[in-house]
Amino acid sequence: MAITSANQLELLQTAEAVAREKMIDPGLVVEAMEESLARAAKSRYGAEMDIRVSIDRKTGKATFTRVRTVVEDEELENYQAEFTVEQAKQYMESPEVGQQYIEEVPPVEMGRIAAQSAKQVILQKVREAERDRQYDEFHDRVGTIINGLVKREEYGNVIVDVGRGEAILRRNEKIGRESYRPNDRIRCFIKDVRRETRGPQIFLSRTAPEFMAELFKMEVPEIYDGIIDIKAVARDPGSRAKIAVISHDGSIDPVGACVGMRGSRVQAVVNELQGEKIDIIPWNEDQPTFLVNALQPAEVTKVVLDEEAGKIEVVVPDEQLSLAIGRRGQNVRLASQLTALDIDIMTEAEESERRQKEFEERTKLFMDTLDLDEFFAQLLVSEGFTNLEEVAYVEVDELLVIDGVDEDTANELQARARDFIEAQNKAALDAARELGVEDSLVAFEGLTPQMIEALAKDGVLTLEDFATCADWELAGGWTNVDGERVKDDGVLEPFGMTLETAQDMVMTARIVLGWVDPAELETAAEEEAGEEGASDEEAEA
């Protein structure tokens, strides 16, 4: 096939037709044609030559050119596409390294094989362009709801026609035992779009918490307008869900707005989710208050929050325990997901029993260590004293408020407590030294003798050993294993060590050892603060 004036315009018409059909830029099709013609020309003139083809976007005329680049003498490798400065002088006035000499060559006639090759190149380019367009289109829609038609079901996975492509709804992303027939309408949440060699893979979900949030946004105008915010969603797909909402307008009730007139709004979401029961909960910045709301319909009598451990204890009336836990632990599990806290639920009787046990343990501690009778030890516990350190180092006035305690008795109590603590400290240090602890660790500020003994038992014997510890190894922490929070015990956790304190102590040890320059730390901290300030200003702007 020769490129003649008769078929020059036909090239452009073909490019436009293909582009229209595949919904891509006509320029990409023309580029593919240029590449295919250049490949055909190379098979005619020689594969070593740098042959390029340019098709005029208005007339369709194809211009074939040969390009040669000026290179250094020692870099000359391809005699067909490169030449030296001396060789170039017969073509150019003052050639320089890097310049190109372009000359037009006669157009080629495309044989059957060349034409087939050109067709393959064009098809490949068109496919790539189509995939890029499809990826760009759906990647921007991640996090939104899409409507589609079921094409088929393969091994429990549903293939969905979403207009300009196919998407997959995996078996574990379906609600309960949903089943679909070809041409059924389906509404899904676009969870992810990945670019793969065979084209973009669009992954859908109907179990994602975000799917419920988007459904409410469609049904509740106040959410769409930003007057009401969805702060958290927890779902047990197909069974039950909890959604926390807050209103930025005092005159609008967020729960009432989401429920709608006679429950019309929430019912529309329930119907879409195959009858999933939905608890709509008012969100509150105060975590204990929010948790009380999240555990509805159960009544809560007391909440104790442990922020460091991310745990919370909830006390409920005896008859409310099963309601608070829910069927198979569903209610408390959803409340835990909603608040991002570990929730321990106990009855009033269990809490009373635990408090009694703590009271007895503290009473026995004071009786054994301070040589007190039971009544006097109970007086100390009743006044809020929990350990020997509090008795030993508290202001004397706080002991004098106890009935029957005068100044001499208070001084005697403190003396006994200090003597016992000093004896404990000496015993702990002696045990640590027997294990091989060095003076560098003993002298390090912030570590008590009991802490040093615990570190020694764990193999931390020098300041260098301590400086290589991770903060969670000292203070403990939480990790997610298969979706469940698992506790990592820290060596110094029994002594009330927090992650923040552990970080500071380890960094101080590294500075003492000369591993870290304090000036560099200050500079890094200032830069980080500057970046945060700049980002805040951008956000405000």
Q: Residue 379 in 3-state DSSP?
A: helix
187 and 163, same domain (yes or no): yes
The closest of 359, 339, 230 to 292, measured between CA atoms, is: 339
Please report, for the domain that includes residue 461, its CATH number: 1.10.150.20
User: By CB neighbour count within 10 A (0-12 exposed, 13-18 middle, 19+ buried), where does 261 fall?
Assistant: exposed
| Domain assignment present for 26 | yes
Chain segment 309-329, per-residue pLDDT in tens: 667 888 888 888 888 888 888
DSSP-derived pairing of the beta strands 82-83 and 62-70: parallel
Q: What's the confidence (pLDDT) of residue 355?
A: 84
89 and 183, same domain (yes or no): no
Q: What is the dihedral of CA 377, 383, 387, 392, to 10 degrees?
A: -90
Q: Residue 272 in 3-state DSSP?
A: helix
Domain boundary at 205, 226, 250, which? 205
Angle, helices 407-434/348-370, rounded to nearest 10 degrees? 90
In whole angstroms, what is the distance from residue 341 CA to residue 288 CA? 10
DSSP-derived pairing of the beta strands 100-104 and 62-70: antiparallel
| Domain assignment present for 320 | no
373 and 440, same domain (yes or no): no
In whole angstroms, what is the distance from residue 387 CA to residue 530 CA? 44
Q: Which two tokens stand for residue 328?
A: 């198979």
pLDDT tens, the chain, 541 aa long: 344 444 556 666 766 776 776 666 777 777 777 777 787 777 777 777 888 888 777 777 778 888 888 888 777 777 677 777 777 777 777 777 878 878 777 777 655 555 566 567 667 777 777 777 777 778 888 888 888 898 888 888 888 888 877 888 888 888 877 788 888 898 899 888 887 767 678 889 998 989 999 999 999 999 989 899 999 999 888 888 899 999 988 889 999 999 989 889 999 999 888 888 999 999 988 888 888 888 888 888 878 776 666 678 888 888 888 888 888 888 888 888 888 878 888 888 888 888 888 888 888 888 888 888 888 888 888 887 888 888 888 888 888 878 777 888 888 888 888 888 898 889 999 999 999 999 999 899 889 999 999 999 999 999 999 999 988 889 887 777 766 777 788 889 888 888 888 898 999 999 888 888 887 777 766 666 555 554 444 444 4
| Domain assignment present for 160 | yes
Q: What's the confidence (pLDDT) of residue 116?
A: 63
491 and 389, same domain (yes or no): no
Q: What's the confidence (pLDDT) of residue 6?
A: 40
388 and 473, same domain (yes or no): no
Q: What's the confidence (pLDDT) of residue 267?
A: 92
Q: What's the confidence (pLDDT) of residue 307?
A: 66
- Per the structure, how many domains does the chain have? 4
88 and 16, same domain (yes or no): yes
In whole angstroms, what is the distance from residue 64 CA to residue 29 CA? 18
**Contact between 146 and 162 (Cβ < 8 Å):** yes
DSSP-derived pairing of the beta strands 166-169 and 201-205: parallel
| Domain assignment present for 347 | no
| Domain assignment present for 306 | no
11 and 121, same domain (yes or no): yes
User: By CB neighbour count within 10 A (0-12 exposed, 13-18 middle, 19+ buried), where does 407 fall?
Assistant: exposed
187 and 84, same domain (yes or no): no
Q: 514 in the Ramachandran plot: left (φ > 0), alpha (ψ -120 to 50) or beta? A: left
The closest of 462, 392, 464 to 424, measured between CA atoms, is: 392
Q: What's the confidence (pLDDT) of residue 431?
A: 92
Give the number of other CB atoms < 10 A from CB of residue 516: 15
The closest of 12, 27, 234 to 133, measured between CA atoms, is: 27
Long-range contact pairs involving 458-462 (C-beta distance under 8 Å, separation at least 24): 458/491, 460/491, 461/435, 461/436, 461/437, 462/437, 462/438
| Domain assignment present for 175 | yes
In whole angstroms, what is the distance from residue 217 CA to residue 400 CA? 62
448 and 490, same domain (yes or no): yes
φ and ψ of 4, to 5 deg: -110, 170
φ and ψ of 383, to 5 deg: -80, 0
474 and 385, same domain (yes or no): no
| Domain assignment present for 274 | no
**Contact between 290 and 340 (Cβ < 8 Å):** no
Q: What's the confidence (pLDDT) of residue 156?
A: 80
| Domain assignment present for 53 | yes
The closest of 222, 186, 224 to 205, measured between CA atoms, is: 186
Domain boundary at 205, 237, 259, which? 205
Entry pTM: 0.56
The domain containing residue 35 runs over which residues?
A: 5-131
Q: What's the confidence (pLDDT) of residue 245?
A: 93
In whole angstroms, what is the distance from residue 257 CA to residue 247 CA? 9
**Contact between 442 and 452 (Cβ < 8 Å):** yes
Please report, for the domain that includes residue 9, its CATH number: 3.30.1480.10
| C-alpha separations of 390 from 57, 179, 359, 382 in Å | 88, 65, 16, 14
In whole angstroms, what is the distance from residue 392 CA to residue 372 CA? 15
In whole angstroms, what is the distance from residue 410 CA to residue 376 CA? 12
In whole angstroms, what is the distance from residue 132 CA to residue 470 CA? 45
**Contact between 110 and 1 (Cβ < 8 Å):** yes
164 and 51, same domain (yes or no): no
The residue written with tokens 């492509």 in the block is 165
Q: Residue 228 in 3-state DSSP?
A: strand
Q: Residue 42 in 3-state DSSP?
A: helix
Domain boundary at 416, 431, 446, which? 431
φ and ψ of 237, to 5 deg: -50, 130
Give the number of other CB atoms < 10 A from CB of residue 271: 10
The closest of 369, 364, 359 to 391, measured between CA atoms, is: 369
Q: What's the confidence (pLDDT) of residue 2?
A: 40
**Contact between 84 and 96 (Cβ < 8 Å):** no
| C-alpha separations of 366 from 305, 372, 415, 419 in Å | 27, 7, 13, 13
Rg for the chain (alpha carbons), in Å? 38
Q: What is the dihedral of CA 393, 397, 400, 401, to 10 degrees?
A: -110
378 and 488, same domain (yes or no): no
The residue written with tokens 């927890």 in the block is 234
φ and ψ of 93, to 5 deg: -70, -55
Please report, for the domain that includes residue 174, its CATH number: 2.40.50.140
Q: Residue 439 in 3-state DSSP?
A: helix
